[in-house]
């Protein structure tokens, strides 16, 4: 149970540009927003000094069971998706619940310090022991006071390709995993992939659960399982509860086919999640030059009315050797790769790691409006665009009205004649 607290945040700038705003948090929820709020004496106060108060960051796609396992049992020499999957298969027999919990808790510490207070993590169910499932359910319980952890039952080896995967997936849901996952492009045939989508969507509909499929994480333009996913979402009345993650084959698809596909995704209410850091690292590995970026068509999906979020996907695991839980790094990479450089597009990249991602998870009470949870990140920036540009310092992280993390402001001091002794990185363009 998350403990609720009272707090007054003074003189903040909001993401929509309003300045000099106070946020009053009572019993863990936002009770008032406005300039110079009158408040009871003795209330704990955080002086924002004009810096931006944001909703917390949300990671819509992650693999916490693999995080911080880089180098175990060996390093991914080719850097490819398939070698990463093979490496994970080698590591699984060596996993222990204690090590899984320890690594995941360390990552959650990193996340909270960076203002990342909600994560959707896929957890592999193809190990008959369900060690990772049990470990992450324990982590979910432990981190609940500081972080919302949502789990996806993910059949990494294919729900039809792996003999016990479907039974294990059902067991994981019975244990308390909230979302049905899948990986149709990893099944043996396109037909099996389509069949896996049907089976898993029907299972989710029966149980009243959400769906999040690793979908078309391939350079193959003929990998079109997102079309099937959109069809099943509409057929089963799952609009708003289904997510297609990665969708990298769309980067290689024919434009005419995509012109048909985008409206289908939008009509079905399917969310899309791109993972910029990982998509551009793993995709295009068979190309010489020109080399494909590999990330899905983010601006086109957004223009079609699809809710698009960004995920971190991996941090120091068999697929990716870098990462730190910084969702502003994810937004910055997404902005560059998708060439989303207008002011509106850059703000949309900030939304992709905050409000849009919260919609993917179906988080209630996420926002800065009255009645929302008192969860706020104070950033050393004056706007969302500036926050991305600077990968702004998280001056304070607030969870249900309680300050759970602080970081000293970033500054540099110079000793040059005739120049200011302090640099303000927020000035200029």
Q: How far apart are CA 243 and CA 361, in angstroms?
A: 9
Q: How far apart are CA 380 and CA 393, in angstroms?
A: 5
Residue 258 in contact with residue 250, Cβ under 8 Å? yes
Catalytic residue among 83, 178, 187, 217: 217
Q: How far apart are CA 142 and CA 304, in angstroms?
A: 39
Q: How far apart are CA 391 and CA 350, in angstroms?
A: 11
- What 8-state DSSP symbol labels residue 43? -
Q: Determine how many CB atoms are found less than 10 A away from the CB of residue 176.
A: 12
Helix, strand, coil share of the chain (percent; to 5): 35, 20, 45
Q: How far apart are CA 313 and CA 108, in angstroms?
A: 14
Can you list the pairs that 37-41 forms with residues at least 24 positions away whose Cβ atoms lie under 8 Å?
Answer: 37/8, 39/8
- What 8-state DSSP symbol labels residue 53? E
Nearest to 169, CA basis, from 233, 212, 119, 228? 212
Going through 159-209 in order, the beta strands assigned E by DSSP cover 179-182
Could you confirm whether 217 is annotated as catalytic? Answer: yes
Q: How far apart are CA 225 and CA 214, in angstroms?
A: 10
β-sheet bridge partners, residue 179: 152, 210
List residues with catalytic annotation.
217
């Amino acid at each position: 149970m998350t403990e609720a607290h009272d707090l007054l945040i003074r003189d903040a700038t909001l993401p929509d540009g309003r300045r000099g705003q106070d946020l009053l948090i009572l019993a863990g929820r936002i009770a008032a927003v406005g300039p110079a709020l009158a408040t009871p004496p003795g209330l704990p106060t955080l002086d924002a000094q004009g810096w931006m108060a944001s909703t917390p960051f949300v990671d819509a796609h992650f693999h916490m069971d693999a995080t911080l396992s880089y180098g175990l049992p060996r390093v991914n020499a080719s850097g490819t998706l398939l070698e990463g999957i093979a490496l994970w298969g080698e590591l699984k027999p060596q996993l222990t619940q204690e090590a899984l919990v320890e690594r995941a808790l360390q990552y959650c510490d990193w996340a909270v310090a960076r203002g990342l207070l909600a994560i959707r993590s896929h957890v592999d169910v193809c190990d008959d022991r369900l060690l990772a499932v049990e470990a992450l359910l324990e982590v979910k319980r432990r981190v609940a006071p500081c972080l919302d952890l949502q789990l996806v039952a993910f059949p990494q080896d294919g729900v039809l390709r792996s003999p016990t995967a479907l039974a294990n997936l059902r067991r994981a849901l019975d244990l308390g995993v909230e979302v049905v996952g899948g990986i149709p492009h990893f099944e043996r045939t396109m037909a099996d992939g389509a069949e896996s989508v049907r089976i898993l969507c029907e299972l989710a509909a029966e149980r009243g659960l959400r769906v999040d499929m690793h979908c078309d994480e391939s350079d193959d333009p003929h990998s079109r399982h997102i079309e099937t996913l959109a069809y099943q979402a509409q057929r089963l009345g799952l609009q708003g509860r289904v997510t297609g993650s990665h969708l990298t084959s769309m980067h290689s698809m024919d434009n005419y086919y995509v012109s048909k596909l985008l409206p289908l995704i939008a009509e079905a209410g399917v969310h899309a999640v791109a993972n910029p850091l990982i998509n551009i690292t793993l995709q295009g590995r068979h190309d010489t030059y020109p080399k494909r970026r590999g990330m899905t068509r983010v601006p086109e999906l957004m223009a079609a009315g699809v809710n698009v979020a960004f995920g971190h996907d991996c941090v120091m695991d068999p697929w990716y050797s870098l990462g730190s839980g910084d969702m502003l790094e994810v937004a910055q990479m997404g902005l560059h790769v998708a060439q989303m450089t207008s002011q509106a597009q850059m703000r949309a990249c900030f939304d992709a790691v905050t409000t849009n991602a919260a919609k993917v998870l179906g988080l209630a009470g996420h926002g800065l409006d009255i009645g929302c949870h008192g969860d706020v990140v104070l950033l050393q920036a004056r706007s969302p665009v500036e926050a991305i540009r600077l990968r702004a310092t998280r001056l304070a992280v607030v969870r249900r009205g309680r300050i759970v993390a602080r970081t000293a402001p970033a500054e540099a001091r110079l000793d040059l004649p005739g120049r200011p002794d302090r640099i303000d990185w927020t000035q200029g363009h």
